[in-house]
Amino acid sequence: MDLDSIYRAEYGRCVATLTRLLGDIGLAEEAVQDAFAVAVHKWDEMPPNPGAWIVTTARNRAIDRLRRESTRQARHAQALLLHRPDEPKEVGPVRDDQLRMIFTCCHPALSPLARTALTLRLLGGLEVAEIARAYLVPEATVSQRIVRAKKKIRDAGIPYRVPDAAALPDRLASVLTVLYLVFNEGYTSMSGELLRTDLCLEAVRLARALAELMPDEPEAIGLLALLLLTEARRPARVGPSGELVVLAEQDRSLWNRELIAEGHELVRWCLRRARPGPYQLQAAINAVHTDGPATDWAQVLALYDQLMRHTPTPIVALNRAVAVAEVHGPAPALAAIDELDLPGYHLLPATRADLLARLGRTAEAVAAYDEAITLATNDTERTFLETRRARLTPDD
């Protein structure tokens, strides 16, 4: 494993651990970045536990910095506390540093974009440019939101902990959204390689921790089910040459049956609670996709109709149109997506191109593929779209 892989796998955990020790997110992030910079020059070969090495080095550099930059008693005491080999006992309902980080970043004092951007930066180690592409906003906007969010956390004294049980429901929606976005960034990275397995697995792990923290909350269980059922299909999503393989063409024998069984059981648990929400419905849709040798598209469409009533967003409408095409044909699906407004979102013209091609409107399909290729930021997805476009011959 190279240093870049270590960075992606360990960055979030190291920042979360240092934040617990330091009580300052900004200082923790700087210390971890310094430690990785030291590793570039010192690692002739990989240490047995790279993450522990980074945490120890970052902690030592933070001690040095605190002592060097200030002689104030409080800061010196903080450095001495960091230097103690015996750490204070954990308090609160959870011992997971990264879950604490998510709840801190999802504090209601922060704006929705600041919450998700800060979490993706600190937990996933994503660069500002990657986050900006995910939200279709300028890099400067994301950078400013992250800086302001860190300042607000510091200045307002927002505690680095999971809130008390009574306050958990108020934070749940934001935490679910962030975990979902972290997983999605791993499952379809906004740039470079298609998959970032480290982010997918970390999101699943944290979703499990959240489900354990809130075992009677259907949406928390629904998110875990959704991530498990999506993760189960990952081995078949990339072909032998690294190419994207769409659901209809995937080898279902490669799917992880253990994860599918667990996901189906969680979906059944949610159904028995009869309190449907968007993550439960998405999990149910994925359960249908993974139940049997082929997808029951009529059932998928019925579930999307329910999801539209809960979450009537353009993205959900676009996904529903795909189900409409399978049940009723491409013409009504095309009519549905032609009413959608998703500027900069490459999957809208990509879906439109596929529907146009199925209707025999080849020249229009080629133009739609060209638009999708221009908008796509992931190399693997772009190559997939180029391959689909090359199969078409526009009418003269």
Angle between helices 168-187 and 97-105 (to 10 degrees): 110
Q: Which of 20-34, 205-219, 272-286 has the lowest mean pLDDT?
A: 20-34
339 or 75, which is more confident: 339
Mean pLDDT within 158-164: 78
* Distance, CA of 32 to CA of 42 (rounded, Å): 15
pLDDT for 190 equals 53
The pLDDT assigned to 95 comes to 53
User: Contact 30/220 with Cβ under 8 angstroms?
Assistant: no
**Looking up tokens 């199925």, which residue turns up?**
358
Q: How many CB atoms lie within 10 A of CB 94?
A: 15
Separation between Cα atoms, residue 65 and residue 195, nearest integer Å: 37
Q: What is the DSSP letter of 244?
A: B
The distance between the two most distant Cα atoms of the chain, rounded to a whole number of Å, is 80
Residues 6+ away with beta carbon under 8 Å from 73: none
| Total-model pTM | 0.81
Block residue for tokens 């956390």: 153
Over pLDDT 90: what percentage of the chain?
A: 47
Exposed/middle/buried for 155, CB within 10 Å: 0-12, 13-18, 19+? exposed
pLDDT of residue 193: 58
State residue 255's pLDDT score: 97
Min mean pLDDT across 90-99, 125-134, 179-188 is at: 90-99
Percentage of residues in the chain having pLDDT higher than 70: 90
Taking the C-alpha atoms of residue 261 and residue 255, their distance in angstroms, rounded to an integer, is 11
Contact 273, 218 (CB under 8 A): yes
pLDDT in tens, 250-268: 999 999 999 999 999 999 9
DSSP codes of every residue in 86-100: SPPPP-SS---HHHH
Other CB atoms closer than 10 Å to residue 9's CB: what's the count? 20
Q: How far apart are CA 122 and CA 126, in angstroms?
A: 8
pLDDT of residue 86: 43
Chain position carrying tokens 């506390």: 81
Contact 96, 208 (CB under 8 A): no
CA 308 to chain centre: 22
Looking at the chain, the number of H-run helices and the number of E-run strands are 19, 0
Check residue 70 and give its pLDDT. Answer: 60
Average pLDDT over residues 293-305: 96
Q: Which residue has the tokens 């999307």?
A: 304
